[in-house]
């Protein structure tokens, strides 16, 4: 599943936030997981502008007239109801993050995705859930400025300002060299509210 309802920069931000929401530092104890933190919760109504069934691309228009593209992988698409141009759909998008500090040499985490839905009835509905898991390495901590620097899996160095109080507390426990497995969960549920006659 590749949902572009959140911009790609927001994905990087969510990964950065995941680093900040992780557990207290690692020191010769098993990895500890941070409980998931909700970082996004959006409700909306959109109209399906077009559907490319072969490519799995759906173009949506929100109430303000903004366009957004959603790409659904073929193995997920088979589990979801078929959408048509003109369908008016209700959407709920929830994003959570969590993190685990892991000992060096721990096997890399794997991402997963799944979907479910009903394909019949007057108001078919579906849900897509993806867990994007990646490992980042902390390269700098500035508690005075509430900033953390880390290197992501693409070897890109990122500097992030930590604004949320619980994450600022966690920032105080991070140290250079910590390896953190982050999980960004995106759950997109939708229902067809109205459909043009066939």
Identify which has the larger pLDDT, 52 or 170. Answer: 52
Percent of the chain with pLDDT over 70: 80
β-sheet bridge partners, residue 105:
none
H helix runs in 59-179, sequence order: 74-77, 165-171
Identify which has the larger pLDDT, 100 or 135. Answer: 135
Model confidence at 16: pLDDT above 50:
no
The CA angle 29-31-37, to the nearest 5 degrees, is 140
Query: For the segment 100-134, what is each residue's pLDDT rounded down to a tens digit?
Result: 788 989 999 999 999 999 877 788 999 999 999 99
What is the Cα–Cα distance from 117 to 139, expressed in whole angstroms?
43
Q: Which two tokens stand for residue 181?
A: 């497995």
pTM as predicted: 0.71
* Contact assessment for residue 26 and residue 102, using Cβ atoms and an 8 Å cutoff: yes
* Domain locations along the chain: 2-194
Query: For the segment 59-99, what is each residue's pLDDT rounded down to a tens digit?
Result: 999 999 999 998 888 888 888 888 899 999 999 999 988 87
H helix runs in the chain, sequence order: 8-20, 74-77, 165-171
């Amino acid at each position: 599943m590749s949902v572009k309802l959140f911009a790609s920069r927001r994905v990087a931000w969510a990964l950065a936030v995941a680093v900040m929401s992780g557990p207290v530092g690692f020191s010769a104890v098993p990895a500890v997981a941070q409980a998931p933190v909700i970082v996004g919760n959006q409700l909306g109504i959109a109209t399906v502008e077009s559907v490319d069934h072969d490519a799995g691309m759906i173009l949506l228009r929100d109430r303000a007239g903004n366009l957004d593209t959603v790409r659904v992988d073929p193995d997920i698409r088979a589990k979801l109801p078929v959408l048509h141009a003109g369908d008016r759909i209700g959407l709920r998008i929830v994003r959570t993050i969590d993190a685990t500090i892991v000992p060096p040499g721990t096997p890399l985490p794997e991402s997963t995705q799944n979907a479910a839905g009903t394909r019949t009835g007057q108001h078919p509905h579906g849900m897509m859930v993806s867990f994007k898991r990646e490992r980042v390495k902390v390269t700098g901590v500035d508690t005075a400025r509430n900033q953390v620097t880390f290197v992501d899996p693409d070897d890109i160095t990122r500097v992030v300002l930590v604004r949320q109080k619980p994450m600022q507390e966690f920032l105080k426990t991070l140290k250079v060299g910590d390896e953190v497995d982050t999980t960004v969960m995106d759950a997109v549920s939708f229902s067809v509210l109205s459909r043009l006659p066939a």
